[in-house]
Chain A
C-alpha cells in the first residue's frame, strides 16, 4: 500500500512543499486539507487585488486541475480540529477521521488581534485571506472612512488598497516610525512622507485604547484621549503562528511548532513547514524562507534526508506602486565592528543604508530607489568581502546586458515577424554595409519598422555584431528635427511657435518628413488649444481630406454614431447614400459604427452632405468612439445608464485630436459587455459608483486598463475621463497609445497628476481641454468651404489631342 501523506494547510508553503515532494517521488497518496475554500493562491498579492491592480483569478497559483492531475485529494473548506499522534489520525470539524502515515502541518498563522476594547464590533476586519480581501472590496468605496491599525508591511498595503477603492484612510501605528521592524527611524520617516503624499493619513506613536460606537464601529479612541472618526477598521498588528494542532499532537511548541534543520518535529511521523514553525528561535512571516523550508522538508519526507534549512536572511519589499521600499538582513549598527554607509536625498525622497560588519554586508535599507536590491541580496547571501568595492557600494553597477542571449538564436530564425527579417539577414546587412545604428538597420533591412516589439533584439544584435555600434542618441523625433518630443513641446510653448513651418525653419532642416510633420502639427494644435496656424501640407492625407485612404487610393467613410446608438432615419440615409454612390462595401465596424468603403476623393463632400452626420474621425489620431452596452435603460443587469453617459462622453471629447487614436467604452455593470476595460479610457458602472479605468488595449497586445479612480456620480466619472484625456494629450508623445503612455509613466504618477492632483492642477487640465473643445469643429463641415482643390481632381486646361490637332 502507498504511504498516506496528509497535509493540513493549503497555503503557499504547504503546496510549494508538495510540489517539491512530487519532484522526488510519487509514492504518496496525498490529501490536502484547507480551511479556506479556495485553491492555492498567492497570498502576498492580496494587497494588489485590493488595490485593483490584479483580479482574484490572476493570483491563483495552482488551479483545481493541478490537484487532479497530480492525484491529490483536495479537501477544501474542511477544518482539522484534532490530531491523534498515537493513533496517527486527524479529525475534521464534522467528526470525519483520516488516518496518516506521515503528517505535514502547514497551518500558517493568524492575524494577531490586540486586546483592545470594542474589537468585536461590526466593521472591524483583518486582512489575511481571499475572503477578507473580497469583503473589504465590497465595503470600501467613496465616503467610507477607514482606519488601519498597524503601520507594517501589510497594514500599509491594505491602507493604500482601501484608498484606491475610494476610502479616506488613516494608518494608526504604535511605534514612532512606520515599518520599524524593517526600517530604521530615518527610513521610516522617508516612507511616511511617501505614504502621506499618496493621500493616506499617518498617525505614529498612537496607541489605540478603544473602538468606539454602537454595535458598528464609529471611531477610535487613543490612549492620549484623542479620537478619530471611522466606519471601517482593518487590524494589521502582526501575526501569530497557529500552533493548536501541534499542542494537541503533543509536539514541542514554543512560539511556533519547533522544527530542526530537516523540518522534523518532535514526533517522527509529523513534519511542519511555513508560518506555523519555529526554527532556531525564529518565526516567519515572509514567503522566501518558507519556500526554502519546503525544499528541505521534501527531501526529508521522501527519504532523501540531507538537505538542511539553515534559517534565512529576512527580506521585505513593500508592494505599493510608487513607494519603493526594500529591507533585508540586520541593520542594528550599535554592535561592535559594525559601520553604516548612508545616502540621503530628501528632495528625491531617496534613502539608502548599508550596514557592514568586518567589510561584509549585514543589512540593507532602501527607500525610494530599490533597483539594486538583487545585488545587495546576493552580497548578503554570499557574505562576500566588499573591501574592494567600497567606493561603489551605493552607486549602481554597470547595466546588465539585455538578459536575452542573442547568440543562441539560429541564423534562420525570424527576428522581425512583421517584415519577415531573419537574424541571418540582419547580420549580413550589418557586415555588408557597416551599419552601426538602429536607424540604419531599419532603413536597410526594414527590421523593427513594424510593431517595434523586436527593437531590443535588433539592438542587441547590433551591439554584438557591429564593431562601432552606437546607442541611438536620446530618442529624438526624427533626423529633420533632432529633439525629443518633450523638448519640442516646450520649445513650441516657450518660443510661441504656432505653425509647423516655423518649427522646421528654426529647429529643423526646414523641409521635414512624414514622421515629424504630423507630429509637430499635433503639438502646435495641442499646445495652443486649437489657436495654431493650420498647415495641411504637414498633415497625412487622411487629415487633409478627413477620410481613411485604402490600398487602392479610394477612401472609407465612417460617420459618428455616438455611443453606437442610431435611428431608423439615420440608417435609411446611410443606406441611400451607399446605393447612390455605389459604395463597394458597407461594414459594421468593431467600434459600433458603419463604414462605407471604396469612396472616391471627389465624392467625399457630397456623401458627407447627404449623410448629414458628423465625422467619426475614424481616419485620424483623435477621438474615435465611445462604445457602450445597453445599460440600465433596458438591460436586466444594468446598474448605470451607460448609453447616456457614453453619448455624453463622446459629445464632450469628439472632434479633438490626441497623440494616437483614442478609443473609449462605457459599461453599465461589471459584466463589461462593451469591453471598457480594454479601452484607452473606460467607465465601468457599479451599483452606486463608477470606476474610471485607463490605458487598456486589445490590439497587438492585450492590456487590462488600470484603475484611475472610483467615483460616485456620472458627472465625476466624466470628469475623471476628461482629466486623463487632457493629461494624455499634453504629456504623451505623438503616436504613443495610452497603454504605452500609462506603462511608461506608471499609473501612480498618472493618478497623482490627474484625478488626485491638487485642485488648481485639475482645473488647469479641464480649462485647456474646454478651450480646445470650444475651438474644435466637425471636420466634415469643410465640405461647405473646402480649401483650394481639396477634393477636386485637377482637369488640364488643354489635352494632348487639342495640342496635336
Chain B
C-alpha cells in the first residue's frame, strides 16, 4: 500500500474512549472505535438490516472484541468483521479498515477500489 492511501480523519480526542463515531469516505460510511489501547474501523453497516455499527456498544464475544449493532443486537468482531452472534447465520463479513494514530490524529487506510465512486 502506498503512502497516499492513508487519510487523515480527525484528532483522537474526537472519538471518546470505548465509543464509535462514523465518518463518510466517498460512498462508504466507516465506523471508527477507540478501544483505549488501539483504534479499529469497519464499514458502518450491519450485514443484518444495515444498522449503524458506530452507534453500537463495544462488547466482549468470547475471546474477541465486538460491536453490538443497536438495531437487533448482532455482534460483529471489530478485528475480523465476522458476525459472531447469531452464529451460523451465513452472514457476510463486514469490511474492515486499517487504522493508525500519528501525532494525535486518526488515520484510515482506504483501498482506492472501495471509494471509486468517491466524488
Contact = CB atoms under 8 A, between A and B. Distances in A.
A801 B10 contact: no
A789 interface: yes
Nearest to A542: B70
A541 B86 CA distance: 21
Nearest to A504: B60
Contacts of A480: 60
A793 interface: yes
Interface residues of A, number: 37
A798 B26 CA distance: 11
Interface stretch (A158-166, A179-187, A508-516, A716-724): A508-516
A537 B112 contact: no
B68 A796 contact: no
A533 to B, nearest CB: 13
Interface residues of B, number: 48
A509 B24 contact: no
Contact of A551 (B19, B68, B71): B71
Nearest to A554: B52
B60 A788 contact: no
Contacts of A348: none
Given A444-B88, A788-B16, A789-B15, A794 B60 contact: no
B39 to A, nearest CB: 13
A762 interface: no
B22 A793 contact: yes
B60 A511 contact: yes
Chain B binding surface SS class: mixed
A624 interface: no
Interface in B65-82: 65, 68, 70-71, 73, 75
Name the residue in B19, B49, B50, B118 with the highest tally of chain A Cβ atoms < 10 Å from its Cβ.
B19
Contact of A514 (B4, B23, B73): B73
Contacts of B15: 789, 794
A275 to B, nearest CB: 59
Nearest to B4: A803
Interface string A539-554: 1110010000101110
A511 B59 contact: yes
A517 interface: yes
Nearest to B86: A446
A373 to B, nearest CB: 44
B83 to A, nearest CB: 12
Nearest to A801: B119
Nearest to A440: B87
Contacts of B88: 444
Interface of A: 443-444, 446, 480, 509, 511-514, 517-518, 535-541, 544, 549, 551-553, 787-789, 793-801, 803-804
14 contacts: A513-B59, A535-B18, A549-B52, A549-B71, A553-B51, A788-B16, A789-B16, A794-B21, A794-B23, A794-B32, A796-B24, A799-B118, A799-B119, A803-B5
State the 7 A-B residue pairs at the shortest beta-carbon distance, nearest first: A537-B18, A513-B59, A511-B60, A514-B68, A541-B55, A797-B8, A514-B57
Interface of B: 4-5, 7-10, 13-19, 21-26, 32, 49-52, 55-61, 65, 68, 70-71, 73, 75, 85-88, 105, 108, 110, 112, 115, 118-119
